[in-house]
Structure 1
Amino acid sequence: MGRWEPDSKGRLQAAALELFVEHGYEQTTVADIAARSGVTERTFFRYFADKREVLFEGTAVLQATVVEHIASAAMDLTALEIVGEAMAATGEIIGQRREYSQLRQTAIAANASLQERELLKLAALAAAAAHALRDRGVGEPTASLAAEAGVAVFKIGFERWIADEPTGSGEPVDIPSSLGDSIRSALLTLRSIAAA
């Protein structure tokens, strides 16, 4: 193994995802991830506190993006429009990594503790969005309802964006051109349901 290779963090993330999908999250060790990446365990711990953080290390950036977009949104938008656009803005962070996102979702779906962590991440995102809306003067329960709806729109849009085919139909899905477009499409669907 060489003393230094470029993009150690990226190689660690890629190796971890491959191993989580191949062998399972519980069966994969930090030593396995480091070995596949061609780095030491010490290098792994420079980037990640533990192997779970490989999957969740972007949570703070995602949350900050949503809060920033809510804070800077135009004043003439409704609370739901503000949150919907803030969630769509996450496409700027996640949107270039569809294959990575698919593998990440596969690893999470196969492990109950990772599913629980993902739900906690989404709950924290909703709480941060509601707080940001309240800071703009949006009252309750509107702020909390809009934030929760925004997280649901994000979740559905994300699942559609990473899908190869829709559940149950067996036909190829028309994959949205971007994550942001997929989230906006889910928001339009929610608004039409609410209007009906």
Structure 2
Amino acid sequence: MARWEPDARGRLQTAAMTLFQERGFAEVTVAEIAERAGLTKRTFFNHFADKREVFFANAQMFEESVLARLDEADPELSAIDAAVHAVTLAGRELAPYYDFAKARIAVLAVTPELRERDLVKTAGLTAAMARALGERGVPPRTAEFAAQAALTVFAVAAAEWIAGKDADLAVLMRRALDELRDAIA
């Protein structure tokens, strides 16, 4: 093991995702993740509280990006358009992590414990977005609907993006939003 190599956090995330894909989330230990990354368990715990957190490591970054983009959105946009715009811009920042995102979706699909945690994280992001929309003067129920709808649009578009790497997330987001509007019209 080298004395010091850069990007311990990224190496841990990559090692974890590789192991989760190879053997399944439940079968992988923190020690194995650290070993695969060429690091110690102590280093792992300097970066993550547990192996679930290594799986969701980018969730906080995504939430912060969504909220920053929402704060910067044109005040003339409707609640749903501002929320979709914010999620689209934050989602585009995930493009360099395509392979990680694809692996994440595959592991999530077969791991109920992680799906449950994903729902909790999504609920937290929904509430944060609704609060941010409320600060823009959007009534609470409308803010909640807009936040939930924007994240639904993102889930649909992101799944399409994962299925076809060359797809443009912004185009997929607009198409999914248009289809949602048609569905509720």
TM-score w.r.t. the length of structure 1 is 0.88
- SS for the counterpart of 2:51 is coil
Q: In structure 1, what is the Cα distance between the partners aligned to 2:41 and 2:48?
A: 10
1:100 aligns with 2:116: no
Which residue of the other structure, out of 170, 173, 177, is the alignment partner of 1:187? Answer: 177
**Where in structure 2 are there 5+ consecutive unaligned residues?**
none
Which consecutive residues of structure 1, in runs of 5 or more, have no partner in the other structure? Answer: 165-174
Q: Give the C-alpha shift of residue 192 in structure 1.
A: 2.7
Counterpart Cα distance in 1 of 2:184 and 2:166? 23
Return the offset for 1:50: 0.9
2:136 corresponds to: 136
**RMSD of the TM alignment (CA)?**
1.6
Give CA-to-partner distance per residue, 1:53-100, whole Å, 9 cap, x none: 111122222112222222221122111100110110112431221111
Structure 2 match to 1:120: 120
Q: How many residues matched?
A: 185
Name the structure 2 match of 1:36.
36
Q: Which residue in the other structure is 1:75 paired with?
A: 75
Any residues of structure 2 matched to 1:155-170 within 5 Å, and which?
A: 155-163=155-163
Per the normalisation by structure 2, the TM-score is 0.93
Counterpart residue type for residue 70 of structure 1: L
* Paired position in structure 1 for 2:60: 60
Residues 25-71 of structure 1 show CA distances to partners (whole Å, capped at 9, x for unaligned) of 11100111111111111111121111111111222221122222222
Which one has the bigger helix percentage?
2
- Aligned with 2:60: secondary structure? helix
For 2:180 and 2:166, locate their aligned partners in 1 and report how far apart those are by CA, in whole Å. Answer: 17
**Structure 2 counterpart of 1:22:** 22
**Cα displacement (A) at 1:176:** 5.4
CA contact (8 A) 1:16 1:54 kept: yes
- Deviation (angstroms), 1:194: 2.8
